[in-house]
Amino acid sequence: MTLSNTERKIIESAIRDIPDFPKEGIVFKDITTLLSDKEAYGVLMNHLYQRYKEYNLDFIAGIDARGFIFGAALAQMLGCGFVPVRKKGKLPYTTISEKYALEYGVDEVEVHIDAFSSVENPRVLLIDDLIATGGTANAAANLVKQAGGECVEACFILGLSFLDGIKKLETKTDVYTLIEMD
C-alpha cells in the first residue's frame, strides 16, 4: 500500500523547509509542522496503520527521537509493543550498542538487551522520520537483529534518494518511504 496523490499532497504541504539549517546549503525538512497539523498527522498515521495492520508485528522500534513520535503512536494503534532505539547513554538498563560513521566522527545507538525477549521470533518494524545516508538506520537494523528480532521492514516518512542510505539499508531489510525526494 502506497500513498494516494491526495494523501501525499496533504502530508507534503504540512512539512516546512528550513534553508541553510543546520548549515549552509542544507534544506532541513521540519516535521514539527506536520505534527501540529491534525489533518496531515491523521492522514499519515491512518496510512501507516492501513499499511502495517496485516504485518503481524510484535514490536515497533523507533529511532531517537522523531521515530518515537510515529512509532509509539503506531504501536498503540496496532496493539504491539514499542522499543526505543536511543542515543548512547540514555537507557537505564543493560544495553547492546552499535556504532556508525558520521561525516566527522562516530556516533552510537543502543537498545535494552532484552528489548524483544517477551516474544518468540519477534517481528519488528523499524521507523524514523527521514533516511539520508543511512548510518543510524543501518545501526538500528543491526541492533534489532542482535537483540533477537526480525526487522521485517524499515519505514521512513521522507527518503533522500539522492543519497545512498536507502540502497544500503535494503541489503538488510525491506525499506518503505512514504515520500522520496530526489
CATH number at residue 64: 3.40.50.2020
Residue 173 lies in a domain: yes
Report pLDDT for 2. Answer: 87
Burial zone of 123 (CB within 10 Å; 0-12 exposed, 13-18 middle, 19+ buried):
middle
Structural domain boundaries, residue 112: 56-181
Q: Is 66 a catalytic residue?
A: yes
3-state secondary structure 51-106: HHCCCCCCEEEEECCHHHHHHHHHHHHHCCEEEEEEECCCCCCCEEEEEEEECCEE
The residues near 23 (Cβ < 8 Å, ≥ 6 apart) are none
Confidence class of residue 181 from pLDDT cuts 50, 70 and 90?
Answer: confident
Confidence class of residue 182 from pLDDT cuts 50, 70 and 90?
Answer: confident
Residue 51 lies in a domain: no
d(CA 82, CA 60): 5
Which whole number is the average pLDDT over 85-107? 93
d(CA 170, CA 39): 31
Q: Are 127 and 155 in contact (CB under 8 A)?
A: yes
d(CA 29, CA 120): 38
Residue 67 lies in a domain: yes
Q: Is 103 a catalytic residue?
A: yes
**Looking at 24, 54, 103, 120, which residue is catalytic?**
103
Q: What is the pLDDT of residues 56-95, one digit of tens each?
A: 999 999 999 999 999 999 999 999 999 999 999 999 999 9
pTM: 0.95
Residue 153 lies in a domain: yes
Confidence class of residue 108 from pLDDT cuts 50, 70 and 90?
Answer: very high
Q: Are 60 and 124 in contact (CB under 8 A)?
A: yes
- Kindly report which listed range (22-31, 48-57, 131-140) carries the lowest average pLDDT score: 22-31
> Is residue 150 predicted with pLDDT exceeding 80?
yes
Residue 18 lies in a domain: no
Residue 50 lies in a domain: no
> Is residue 18 predicted with pLDDT exceeding 80?
yes
Question: Into how many domains does the chain fold?
Answer: 1
Q: Please, what is the average pLDDT of the chain?
A: 96
**Looking at 66, 108, 123, 153, which residue is catalytic?**
66
Residue 147 lies in a domain: yes
Report pLDDT for 1. Answer: 83
Residue 150 lies in a domain: yes
